[in-house]
Amino acid sequence: MPTPRIVVVGSTMIDQIAYADRLPGDGETVVGTSYATGFGGKGANQAVMAARFGAAVAMVNTLGDDGHGTAYLERLASEGIDTTFMRRVPGSSGVAPIWVDARGTNRIIVVPGANEHVLAEVAAEAVETFRPDVVVSQFEIPQATTAAGFEAGRRIGAITVLNPAPAAAVAPELLAVTDWLVPNGPEFELIAAASLGGSPDDELRTIRALGERLAVSLVVTLGERGALVVPRGEAETWVAAPGVDAIDTTGAGDAFVGAFAVGLASGWSPVAAVGLACAAAADSVTRRGTQASYADRAAAVTLLQSHAP
């Protein structure tokens, strides 16, 4: 089977993670239990997860001219990710302060920095040059840049996968070139309210209606409940998540999207791709951190083989 090829047009962040038994309320200070820094950003997380499954991955991003930017280029290269389409600008790279409580629940503030300068023409060039099977993006970079990458993907026959996170309305020009929309529960509710009006009163009916209104295929991730797959014009399928003891949910959604992209790029059915994605996400929450929590390459390949249709 040919090696799946994926272009990720997305963000890089340096994660600054504080752990505490509970998260503070308004105006409150609590004493934490530990602190860690790591490599994150939704785009880079998804790229790393895909690369560990053995996919050929190219990353499109802009870094600052600081030490964080230099360290991140080295990090991506160490994962075997093509950094040809990475750029640097004066100023700060992106950072993400993260709080995690004893249940593994997290709160995140994203400070985009250089991620706001990812260029549309570079995204299009990357897709046209790398010739991927799947193009993936998120909302930590300008939507116009993602739209340019997706338009290029459409021209070469690639599948486009949009993870609308952090939650925001999808620009019409981006939606028009999106094949798969992959929100989590809160992101789905925001998009549904903007597109359909009001709050969802029946989850399943609203998901069906949203897919029809937006003319896209949908995967809605619902944490420990698993995910609902609704290919455009077809019946929905629930995919259960493996039962695990979660200690840190940071980056689990990105593990899901990276694995889903690998499944689609490998020619799997959407349901099979989501099965792999649920397994990768569930595995990641059993360890702390973002990319640090992902299965290493050997474990990821074993996971891939065990879920292959």
- Whether 28 is covered by a domain: the verdict is no
Q: How many domains does the chain have?
A: 1
Tell me, yes or no, whether 30 lies in a domain: no
Q: How far is Cα 120 from Cα 142, in angstroms, rounded to an integer? A: 9
Residue 214 covered by a domain: yes
Per-residue model confidence (pLDDT) at position 200? 56
Q: Which residues of 267-293 are buried (b: 16+ CB within 10 A; e: fewer)?
A: ebebbbbbbbbbbbbbbbbeebbbbbb
Residue ranges, the chain, pLDDT below 50:
none
Active site residues: 254
Give the range of the structural domain holding residue 135, as residue numbers without chain letter: 5-23+35-307
Q: Give me the CATH number covering residue 84.
A: 3.40.1190.20
pLDDT for residue 205: 81
The token pair that represents 174 in the structure block? 């981006």
Q: List the beta bridge partners of residue 116.
A: none
Question: Is residue 102 assigned to a domain?
Answer: yes
**pTM of the full structure:** 0.91
Per the CB < 8 A criterion, the answer to whether 153 and 127 are in contact is: yes
Q: Which helix (H) or strand (E) holds 220?
A: strand 217-221
pLDDT at 219: 96
Residue 10 in domain: yes
Query: What pLDDT is stored for residue 290 in this prediction?
Result: 87
- Assess if residue 260 is contained within a domain: yes
Type of residue at 257: V
What are the tokens at 264? 């689609």
Q: Give, in order, the Cα–Cα distances in Å from 223 to each of 28, 40, 80.
A: 28, 20, 29
